[in-house]
Structure 1
């Protein structure tokens, strides 16, 4: 059955849609379905996407392609809309670089079913649903009417209040009313009506985009919140002149971010009186001029925005920027003080709603925002919510009632609050849920025993039944249902022997959450294959004593490593499952009996000897310590289990950045000047310690742990105060951060900072007069030769662009964040670019040879290209077990070499087996 997966789209949630579409593509049962990736661009074009682009980190990494970007001083990545108005021919040329344009009337010939992973307007508002019905294509989720209703928060509130269902009091504010009113008077009126705190929402957005909480009777904060929901921003001359050039760039990048800013294109409206000088007329930025007292200008590109603000704010007191697709209304809601939850409701096999166990969202910020929703470790998700069973049942019953009331079909995600007095408020129903591996969608389905692949099969089957009930081609869909049911039954009876692979994830370092993301991704890629049977294993404990637990699927899909650890320890201590889970699982037996291969189990503790009896080989998905330091490798070798990556000796070197740099320098490779800075030196005489470092390294320099990755505690130290703060945090005795030191280093919310007895100091690698200077990360794969030697395949490196001083955790791993261009842009001319690339790859290969790297690795470096054409590669660090999250750039690089992610993982596992066999022959 051909499944067209629709993802991307024009909404502000397009990056989560892109990541969710990739999850669906990877998890579709390959024995039942053939995936057809349909990328929807921000102009609404349908594109049959070449598979390798699915594994890019963000949409901007491949679309629009580099060749279509306008000349740019700052080399910023942008979305298609920043190219301005494009003709159909121009759009066709851009589309042809990543796939093939699909006309709507072609869709029915390419697919039997459309799986909608689109979000927001043009995704879950009934529009795409109507188009598919026009062409007779069945699709996932709710139909046209409930989808249109599900996107409109104002319509939802109106109906809830009309039916006397519990919902916060609300008011609707139009942009015109807001502009005409005095902010202080308007806030006083709203405060009288709704009270404070006040929730301010964009009424047709998801993922908490455009949402603010106003806690104080402060008109300025109220205005900022309303403007955020209208997707506009007022900029004053005073504020602009206060910013330096780098700060203005950072401000523009944040402002034009489609999730947290207002996005592009914008209309630039000027309201202050202009000087006697004539304003500048239209130019290449697309600026136009009308009445000098009120002009309207369209800005498409971030650099054009910077130029326009520099120019206009020399003439104007202020300007207002408004996104051309901004909202025209704002929803104002009374704040509900209570515990926040989210509940997935699915249709049972008979079409009746079944609420899955609700999840409590335990957050550290006042809004469960985009970052908290999608970056591992930012919020805790507790399933089921820790309440008496009767209260959980009331939540489920009200969610099921709302599902019926709104006429939802197949599935929906319902959010809400329960107050201390037990009152339940349901809020913001969603007809499409986020579909990242640990999203509520998969997370709650796992509690009844369905893994992502099985749940997707059930959603497709239930959607077919819903479309048939709605009258869409009942005879044809009836045949499809019978064929799918027969295929599912046959799949259940088929039990082919597969190679068992323990996927070890978790750990106890600051990289544990990313390790879980990597492990889950490996698990999903292997579980959808006919060759491997992955076994998820969680590692916890300490460096003195590892503890291994085989995870059931519901525990593996907890939000992050800490949630998994807590659940494992809870169940291992003999505490039973929550009684409501047993009740829900019993109610879901009609689903799980058909679609789940086995019932939900509890974590099982294993020794390494028992693991060797259970599985054939191991994939280590850990990062840093433990995992990359050789100790775990020694344990696996002891029990005869083959594993991925480098051997114990090489791993023990590459985990230590100081030792790695030392060996590379001795081999003639370029590395930064470096030294270890120890706690003993600092405690003996802190001032002498600081002076010693300052005499060897001029500010700014880099300070970082010598044996952690994922940008953990990597800081650019610019002065003595920052150096002192870094040392106090690194050498602290307490677990909690020191607040004043954390402020000095501008640590982000929930940013972790490890405690160590020493850290690494390096010179800051700079351009040093080079013609071109860039940061790259390059992956490699080793192959065994028949003669016993090995070949090293080095992939095209990715160019990594940091928006801050160093690449952040978000830029590396949060869907839609980060800028990675593959292959790296060493030069504009293809021949020169390839010459430089070949030189860089030769240096990376030398690194692998010097350090005896095996299996695969990722090497980070800076590249300088001199006016003479000479190439200098300065090695930063080596990762022997690089991140394997769905969007990590090593998958971009392997795709260029023709490897799908599964092919790449398979090669890694095969190398581990061949290494064990070779060692066996030698012994």
Structure 2
């Protein structure tokens, strides 16, 4: 069956939709389905996307293509709406670089079924559902009416109130009312009616976009929250003039961010001093109106306007016209997926509690592993959880939802239950609530998607859509699923080791899950998820069932293991839900769920034919694990013991590279013993050798963990105190000095690495790159190194962050790197860079695959300088990481790349171990 996957879209959630569409594309059972990727751009155009682009980190990494974009002084990445009003030919040329445009009438020829991974307006509001109904194409999820209702938070609140269902009290403020009323009086009224805190929401958005919590009776913060929900921003001349040039650029970038800011295009209204100083609301006529599409144009326009105007107001052209204001519910927040059972009745899966450090479960907390804890099921008595489930099932019926929905709510401190914000489409990242809760009944992502396609077909047929055709499709699918259950194919067993105990453990789990899922959808491999925890002195291995593997992060997985080892039985509600869902799992699931099981390395050799190490930093990249695997004759991925023990140490790596004539930053180790002996001498010694600013970082962690640009003595002292601390907890004051983010981890070490800050140094072109490579054996058994086209990494802050490397929609990577605008010259420079990266691999005896980070300077005369930053012998393999962008350019799908890595490991083991 051909499955058209619709992803991307016009909403502010397009990046999560893009990442979710990739998850669906990868996890569809290839024995049953043929995925057809239909990328919907932010202008609403349908594009049959070339498969290589599915694995880009963000939409802006590939679309609009660089060739369609105007020159940018600041090299800003933009969405296609920022190119302004394009001609038909300009649109066609942009699309032709990434796929081909699909006309609406073509869709029935391309697919038998549409899987909707779109979010928000244009995806969950009934619009695309209506188009598909018109075309006669069955689709996933709810139909037109429940989708339209599910996007409208105000309509939902009114119905819940009318039915007498518990929901937080609320009021609605329209943009027109806001513009003509006294803001202080409005705030006083809302505080009197609803109390504090107040929750302000954009009523037709998801993913906590446009949501604020007002804790105090503060007029300025109230006005900012209203503006956030209306997707407006007011800027005064004084505030603008206080910013430096770099700060102005950062302000514009944040403002135009579609998740945290207001997005583009914007209408710019400017007001003279006489209007602003009058104290009344800003007028809606007689102002200078301009629509701006590009962030750089906005940057220049603000500087120009605020020379004469006292204040400007920026309004997104697709902003909201109303704000929903709710009373705050103090209690425990949960989210529950409800699906239809085979009889079309709602079945609530185990609800998940969201444990967070902030009051609001925002976009970043939802999608970056480790920022919020997801506890499934919510830790309440069985009767209370059953009450939540029954309330969710009732809401599912009341709102007329079909196939599946995600229902959110709170349990107040008094035990009162509130439901709000139902979603007809849930986020579809690998560890989202969607797959996370399905795993608790024993369905892996591939099996769950199969069930949802089958259930959606039945729902569309029940609603009268082409009943004869859909009846035939249902029969064919049921037959195929039944035969799939009875397959007895011999597959190669691969233990995928993930987790660890370093600050990179959450990313390791993301990498491991991605490898597991890619191998699961193949006919060649049978992956076994293995979690590693413990310490440097003792590595503990556990085989994981699918429901534990799909926990939100490494800490949640470790906690489940600890509970199992303590003899704690699973929550009784799980047995009840698994019994209720047995009609689903008996048809679609594989083996029954079990508890995590401790194994030895000897047991591992009996369970697996080879190993994929998905660990990052220590352990994993340091050679210790490789020693154990070699004792057992188990083939593994990545470099060998000797090479790994060098590349894990950035200081030793730099030293070896410098000794062979390769360029690295000046560097030295700063030891805790020196600091303890005399802190002042320690600081002065570093300041003498390394003028500010310089880079400080752990010598044996990767992934940007605790990599900081040190600009002054206060920051040096704060960094030193944190990295040399004795307690696990961070010290608040140093953490504040370094502007550490919420729940940002900072390792403890006995020494750290200090490097000079690599700068442009007068070069014509200067960029940060990351380049991947893959090794194989040629016909003579010699090592052959294939170096891929490197990616250009764009950091929004001082250094490339963890989020930018691994969070879907966050990182900005351009592949191939933009060394020059001239194609021939660009390739010449690229070939020189690749030659240096190959030399690095040879010097360090890198095997299997690796990622090398570097800075590239291109001088006016064309001379190329490549300064190596670090080498990762087991690079991150999360779905959005840029090594997959590079391998796609070389013609490898992610699965083919992983297959080549495993095949090399096996070939190396055969060369090393005698046949006997």
The TM tier, using the shorter chain, reads: over 0.9
Q: Which residue of 2 aligns with 1:278?
A: none
**CA distance, structure 2, for counterparts of residue 189 and residue 332 of structure 1:** 12
Contact 1:412 1:430 survives alignment (8 Å): yes
Give distance in 2, aligned partners of 1:29 and 1:180. Answer: 56
Structure-1 residue corresponding to 2:502:
509
Output one character per residue of 1:747-788: Cα deviation in whole Å (capped at 9) or x when no partner.
111110000000000000001111110000000000112322
Equivalent position of 1:368 in the other structure = 361
1:729 to 717, 722, 727: 722
Aligned to 1:865: 858
- Mapping 1:397-476, distance limit 5 Å: 397-476=390-469
Shift of 1:425: 0.2
Of the candidates 299, 317, 328, which is equivalent to residue 335 of structure 1? 328
Q: Report deviation, 1:89.
A: 1.9
The residue that corresponds to 2:94 in the other structure is: 94
Q: Hey, what's the Cα distance between the residues in 1 that align with 2:783 and 2:499?
A: 31
Contact 1:200 1:213 in 2 (8 A): yes
| Contact kept in structure 2, 1:344 and 1:440, CA below 8 Å | yes
Task: Answer yes or no: is 1:839 the counterpart of 2:832.
Answer: yes
Partner of 1:283: none
**2: CA distance, partners of 1:260 / 1:354:** 34
Q: Which residue of 1 aligns with 2:351?
A: 358
Shift of 1:722: 0.6
* 1:858 and 1:890 in contact (8 A); partners too: yes
Give the drift of 1:813: 1.0
CA contact (8 A) 1:274 1:292 kept: no
CA contact 1:273–1:293 (8 Å) conserved in 2? no
Provide Cα deviations, 1:725-752, integer angstroms capped at 9, x if missing partner: 1100010111110110001111111110
Q: Which runs of 4+ in 1 moved over 4 A?
A: 290-293
Match of 2:475 among 475, 482, 488: 482
SS of the counterpart of 1:632? helix
| Post-superposition CA distance 1:234-257 (Å, at most 9, x none) | 000010011000111111110000
Question: What SS is found at the alignment partner of 2:913?
Answer: helix
Shift in Å at residue 138 of structure 1?
0.1
**Is the Cα–Cα contact under 8 Å of residues 468 and 477 in structure 1 kept in the other structure?**
yes
Distance in 2, Cα, partners of 1:649 & 1:639 = 18
The answer (yes or no) to whether the contact 1:403–1:412 under 8 Å persists in 2 is yes
Match of 1:804 among 788, 797, 800: 797
Partner residue of 2:189? 189
Among 646, 652, 656, the alignment partner of 2:645 is: 652
| Residue 228, structure 1, aligned to residue 246, structure 2 | no
Residue 633 in structure 1 maps to residue 626 in structure 2: yes
Measured after TM superposition, the shift of residue 271 of structure 1 is: 2.5
1:245 aligns with 2:238: no
- Paired residue for 1:548? 541
In structure 1, what is the Cα distance between the partners aligned to 2:811 and 2:547?
Answer: 30
| Structure 1 residue 86 displacement after superposition | 1.0
What is the TM-score with the length of structure 2 in the denominator? 0.99
**Aligned equivalent of 2:75:** 75
Separation in 2, partners of 1:88, 1:577: 59
Aligned pairs for 1:314-325 within 5 A: 314-325=307-318
Q: Which residue of 2 aligns with 1:820?
A: 813
Query: TM-score w.r.t. structure 1 length?
Result: 0.98
Q: Distance in 2 between matches of 1:921 and 1:316?
A: 80
CA distance in 2, matches of 1:408, 1:813: 34
CA offsets, 1:630-665, max 9 Å, x none? Answer: 000001111111000000110000000000000000
**What residue is the counterpart of 1:154 in the other structure?**
154
Contact 1:132 1:139 in 2 (8 A): yes
C-alpha displacement of 1:293? 4.8
Residue 562 of structure 2 is aligned to residue 569 of structure 1: yes
CA distance in 2, matches of 1:641, 1:785: 22
User: Corresponding residue for 1:287?
Assistant: none
* Cα deviation, residue 272, structure 1: 2.5
**Distance in 1 separating the partners of 2:258 and 2:284:** 30
Number of the residue aligned with 2:595? 602
Post-superposition Cα deviations, 1:778-814, rounded to whole Å, max 9, x if no partner, equal 0000011232211000000000010110001111111
Q: CA deviation at 1:273?
A: 4.5
Contact 1:272 1:317 in 2 (8 A): yes
Q: State the alpha-carbon separation in 2 of the partners of residues 5 and 377 from structure 1.
A: 29
**CA spacing shift, 1:291–1:530, aligned 2, 3 Å:** closer
1:887 lines up with 2:880 in the alignment: yes
Indicate if the aligned counterparts of 2:633 and 2:913 stay in contact, CA closer than 8 A: no
Aligned residues: 909
Q: Are residues 1:849 and 2:875 paired?
A: no
Post-superposition shift, 1:818?
1.5
Secondary structure of 1:703's counterpart equals strand
- Give the aligned partner of residue 63 of structure 1: 63
Does the CA-based 8 Å contact 1:271-1:293 persist in structure 2? no
Q: 2:902 is matched with which residue?
A: 909
Moved more, 805-814 or 439-448: 805-814
Q: CA deviation at 1:88?
A: 2.0
**Is residue 715 from structure 1 mapped to residue 708 from structure 2 by the alignment?**
yes
User: Does structure 1 retain, via aligned residues, the 8 Å contact 2:819–2:830?
Assistant: yes
Gaps of 5+ in 2: 276-282
Residue 921 of structure 1: CA displacement?
Answer: 3.6
Separation in 1 of the partners of 2:915 and 2:705?
40
- 1:755 pairs with 2:766: no
SS in structure 1 of the partner of residue 312 of structure 2: strand
CA contact (8 A) 2:273 2:311 kept: no
**For the residues of structure 1 that align with 2:564 and 2:84, how far apart are their CA atoms?**
56
- Separation of aligned partners in 2, 1:271 and 1:745: 38
Structure 2 Cα separation of the partners of residues 298 and 825 of structure 1: 30
The answer as to whether partners of 1:201 and 1:331 remain within 8 angstroms in 2 is: yes
1:675 aligns with 2:668: yes
Tell me by how many angstroms 1:180 deviates.
1.0
| Structure 2 CA distance for aligned equivalents of residues 572 and 56 of structure 1 | 40
Match of 1:282 in 2: none
SS of 1:755 mapped into structure 2 = coil
Give the Cα–Cα distance (whole angstroms) in 2 for the partners of residues 865 and 741 of structure 1. Answer: 38
CA–CA distance in structure 2, aligned partners of residues 614 and 795 of structure 1 = 34
Matches within 5 A, 1:11-50: 11-50=11-50
